[in-house]
Each structure stands twice: as C-alpha cells, then as structure tokens.
Structure 1
C-alpha cells in the first residue's frame, strides 16, 4: 500500500510542476498581449485556462481518493490537504493571467500600458511561481520564507506605481482609461503575489505543523 501511495505522491509532484508551468506560460502570454493587444492571443489565454482548471480538478480527485482509500498517516494527511490548498492557489494565480488578457481588450490601438510596468510584475510573478512549486516539492521551508519575504518588493512596487499613475492621470499626462486599466493590471499582479504567499505559508505549515497569519483569506 505504501508503495502505491508513494507512487501517487510522485505523480502529484509531477502534475504540480506541470500546473506551475501552465500558469507561467499564461503569464508569459498575458505579458505579450498587454504589449501587442493581439485579440487572438487574448482569446487563446482565456481558452487555455480550461487546461489549468482540468488539471486542478484531476489533482484534487487524486488527493481525495488517496485520503479515502489508502488510510494515510497524520503526516500524509497534512501533505495531501496542503497539496489541495496549493493547487487551488495556483489555479487562482492562473485566473489573474486571464484577467490581464481581458484588460488588453479595453486598450485602444492608439494607447498602451507602459510595458516596463507589466514586464516587471510579470517577471517577478513567474520567478516566484517557479520557485515556490520547487520549494514545495523539495520541502524547502527556508526557500519558502525567502519567497514570502520577497513579496514585499511587489507590494512596494505596487504602491509606487499606483501613486505614479494617479499623479499622471490627475495632471493629464495619461488618459483616464489607461490609468484605470494600468491600476487593474498592477492589482492583478499584486493579488497573484498574495496567493504565492499563501503557498509559502502552507509550505511552512507542512514543515512545522503551525499555521501562519494569512495575508489572503480567499
């Protein structure tokens, strides 16, 4: 029984890597679509979200089936429930890439969002997703804490960009529409960072058995 249990856990780790890569790919596409306003690419991002949802549901089913059929130990239960939470957070992060794609549809041809802004946040999120998935697979609490603390950089950049955009809008340097869409963009990235923090907290819980104060409740 334990051999079968271990085999499924290994499969879940492989699926988690795949899920993380799907999310990263979505952010790479959304980063591009914010620059190009390519409506076909935006539609593809929206369609590809189904692949993330399907994999999430498949992984959740595997976790629940293990719990129901394999009589897991307390430590195994903790890992399985933690895996489910992490899967759900990754799926939510992927949803923000879809939201970014939808923003591109509201940007007219003669206007654009500053690509330096979207590139900065996108690169940060992609790096954090890649690292946090690996930290979970490696049971690396130290790395999880490092990623958790790095989210402060995103929060600080969000505050700085928000103030800058408001100043530009109020002074007429950018249109109200571009200001609003840019604020949506940075908010989606900031929320993605919050969900990455959730994953970090779950990795810490997995190692210590203690819950950390959660930054995000949903």
Structure 2
C-alpha cells in the first residue's frame, strides 16, 4: 500500500507542478481563527514570501517574520508595503530568533526542517504568558488512517487546483519557491513528542497532507485549556 501511495503522490506532484496552488495558504484563515482578534507581537517561523505575516499584521501591533532562505526573505520585503508593521529577518529558527516574548507564534510547513521537540521547546520559551502557538505541519504517512486521508485528499486537490487556476495561466506562487524537504516523523510520533513538550496541545490530521497543532500558554507560564475558537 505504501508503494502505491508513493506512486500516487509522485503523480500528484507532477500534476501540481502543472497546476500549482498553495496548500499552506489554504490554512491561513483557519490559523486566524485560532488567535485573538487583537494582540501585541507575533512571530511567524518559516515566513516565506510573507503572506501569513501580513495577515497577522491586520491584528497585531508588530509582526516578526523569520525564514532561513535569504532569497525568499528578500522577496517578502519586496512584496510588503512599508506601512505594514512587519519585519522580515533571515536566520535559523532555533539560534537566531529575534528576542520575544510573543503573544502569537505561527509555524507553517517549517517544523519538519528542524529538530521537532527542540523546536517546540524553543517556541514555548519565546511565547508570552497567555500566548498562542499555532502549527500547520507535514507528517510522514504511516498508518492506514494516514493513507486513507491522503487518498481522500487526491480528488479534492485536483478540484482545488482547477478552481485556483481557472481562467488564468498557471503560475507558481511566490510562497512556493522556497526549498522543501520530506517529513520524517509520523503523525503518531508528532503527537507523542508534542504532548510531552506541550501538555494539553490539540493536534489533528488535516486534508492536503497536513496536521495542525494549537497550544495556549497559561498566563502564569504553564499550559491552559481556553475555549476553542475554531476547528
């Protein structure tokens, strides 16, 4: 089954190259439902071309975008109006994070590029009391449930690609030009390690080969269980 899934995913990659659309941007509105309506400072890890950072800036006093790819950071600066309160920095997520604390930290499709537990511990330290961490990540398909959800996403992926590219020449979004690498951790491993570092974290498998993680820092510095503001 794994071999068949690999072949199907390779075919999807070829189709996606010809009909590109940003799977990560698909979750931006969901991310915004997880964060407060107004907050002070935000940090977007793996900020890419800056789409999410600029979206966060509609609610934040200041947003810091951080990405290891200097070329994509330069592109993000070019695409951002100087009046928007966003600063983009090129640097390593674990060693060159601009000083916090941050009320909101987001990380989309970047966590599998760094040591997982170490990164979550690092994010937790930079999160302000009462702050929110939101992750949209990529996991390695392993269980029957993983493969089933991946299979269910295939026709939806084709439909979305057709909708996104309908009536215009297919163009690879700026957000999809940064280097990528395959995920090495399964969803089960991610859940295990995440809940050890961030007790009470909410994790879910998602369509389009993604998972989500939401964690709220207790005002006193520990975990908390605030009301769910989105699904």
TM-score by shorter chain over 0.5: no
Q: Computing the radius of gyration over CA atoms, which structure comes out larger, 1 or 2?
A: 1
**Higher RCO structure, 1 or 2 (CA under 8 Å, sep 6+):** 1
Q: Report the TM-score when normalising by structure 1.
A: 0.26
